[in-house]
Amino acid sequence: PTLGIVLVAAGRGERLGASAPKAFIDLRGRKLIEFGIAVATSLPHTGHLAVVVPEDRAAQALEIVNRVVPADSPWTVTVVPGGRERHESVRFGLDALPDSIDTVLVHDAARPFASAELFERVIGEVRRTGDSVIPALRVADTLKRIDDEGIVHETVDRTPLVAVQTPQGFPRETLAAAHATAQLHADIPTDDAELVQRAGGRVRTVPGEINAHKLTTPEDLRLLEFFLTAHAL
């Protein structure tokens, strides 16, 4: 069995507001995208990685791949131009994977410190169950529903709520079939697991991890820099 990983890095990073797209900003001297490429190709699997980037960053991405992935790696890597929306970027990545692949992970480059253990947990559960699998964290804070003015209306029961992360894992045909129906939805979800669910598939959770936190705002950048220091990553 062969593993496929789609690393989506083609977003503009508008909420971060940096001068470069999010995946190409510097984190202590390394480009954000390097971390995802390194962890994916460190996994002890025979696999294919599709790195999906803004079209005008393809040459730079290829240079990074050649520097980060050892020449004798069992992984093959391709760089693919992304789309306007995340679901398009995922589909372009999926389409670039060879036919031999049975299990696919989709991972946000914006979660640079998701661990190899988390990847393996997701892969293992997909292969054990045949279902789609996403990392999830229990929400610790009290949750309240507010209106546009920030006025609180009620406390929401957090018992059945989790916050979900990537890598998200799928049997290849399940994800491909879900993406084939994406255009049928008026509002196309950004989350691949949601697409699978709408197509009737079962999605289960495994424990997520704080390290897999997503870089969205400048405040997240400070948090990730702190992770880098604290874990000597």
Which spans of this chain sit near ligand CTP (rule: CB under 6 A)?
Answer: 8-15, 22-23, 52, 82-86, 89, 108-110, 214, 216
Nearer to Mg ion, 22 or 172 (CB): 22
Closest residue to bound ligand CTP by CB? 11
* CA atoms lying within 13 Å on the CB side of residue 3: 25
Nearer to ligand CTP, 15 or 138 (CB): 15
Nearer to ligand CTP, 19 or 142 (CB): 19
Give the residue from 90, 86, 109 showing the smallest Cα distance to 34.
109
Supply the Cα-derived Rg of the chain in whole angstroms: 18
Instruction: Report the run of H or E that residue 138 belongs to, with start and end.
Output: strand 132-138
CB of 89 to ligand CTP, least distance (A): 3
What distance in Å separates the CA atoms of residue 173 and residue 170, rounded to the nearest whole number? 8
Question: Which of Mg ion, ligand CTP, none is residue 78 near (CB under 5 to 8 Å by kind)?
Answer: none
Nearer to ligand CTP, 4 or 82 (CB): 82
- Contact positions with Mg ion (CB under 5 A) in 7-46: 11
Give the residue from 168, 173, 186 showing the smallest Cα distance to 114.
168
